[in-house]
Amino acid sequence: MILGLSHVAFGCDDIEAATARLAGFGYGQRFNAPDLENHVDKAPFLSRYQSRHHIRALSREGAMAIELLDHGSLVGEQAAALIPVFKSAAPCPDWLARAPDDLPITAEGLDRLRETLGQPARAFHDPVLSMTLLWVCADGDAPGLHACALPTPDPEATATLLGQLRFRPDASGLWSLLTPLPALQARLIPVAARKAPGWTGTPRLDAPGCACLAFMARGTDHAPLPAALQGHTVSFSLPINGKDSRITLARPDHGPMIELVDQTA
């Protein structure tokens, strides 16, 4: 059973710089694991496997939780699976503006984003986070990661996947996770996808951008996975932040990798 969001994974190659960038949005460290075992079963989900890696979990009240993943280097093009939507009073001064045509989102998808967010989303490349992202004015809301756009070539399959992950849509097209705890909330906006240079439809954990959406879960050792996740799936155990954890990684046909983090066994 899915309990709520664990984190959105951000690939990075300078975890200290990325932490400082996110601190500017009010994020603080939840835990840090600078020499964590990289389980060998994760190799198919990486471009270049290495036995150790560095993770750092960050959170901010009112925003989605983030985990920074440093596998030693970033490999390949940015994952098109998830595009973060940040809110703040103003864009960061060193962000580089990107044209809407640079995004892996159709014109209709951009219209959907505007309708859902209530304002046009502007695209920027962040040289510190090494990714292209979307930004909207906070309008009094908490700064930070507000939502993620989810480009998809198959809206029906994506709706099925999100439903099985306990997301529900509102009238605007925003899908929110069913959880009573605000700290575990996640918000996704499915939009029509298109191919675009500099983006890949095959998410990898060591690629730039956001390749993985992780959830807190329980019962993963005996309960069946949602049907939409029963494809390329691996499970293994690791101690994370002092707790024995059962990790399940799945790669759906479309969209980001899905990780289930079970610390209830």
For residue 265, the model assigns a pLDDT of 54
pLDDT of residue 264: 65
Spatial CA neighbour of 53 closest among 67, 72, 68 = 72
Q: Which residues pair with 237 in a beta bridge?
A: 246
Model confidence, pTM: 0.95
- DSSP character string of 152-208: ES-HHHHHHHHHHTTEEE-TTS-EEE--S-GGG--EEEEEEB---TTEESS--TTSS
What integer pLDDT is reported at residue 220 of this predicted model? 85
Residues of the chain with pLDDT under 50: none
User: Which amino acid is present at 103?
Assistant: L
What is the reported pLDDT for 179? Answer: 87
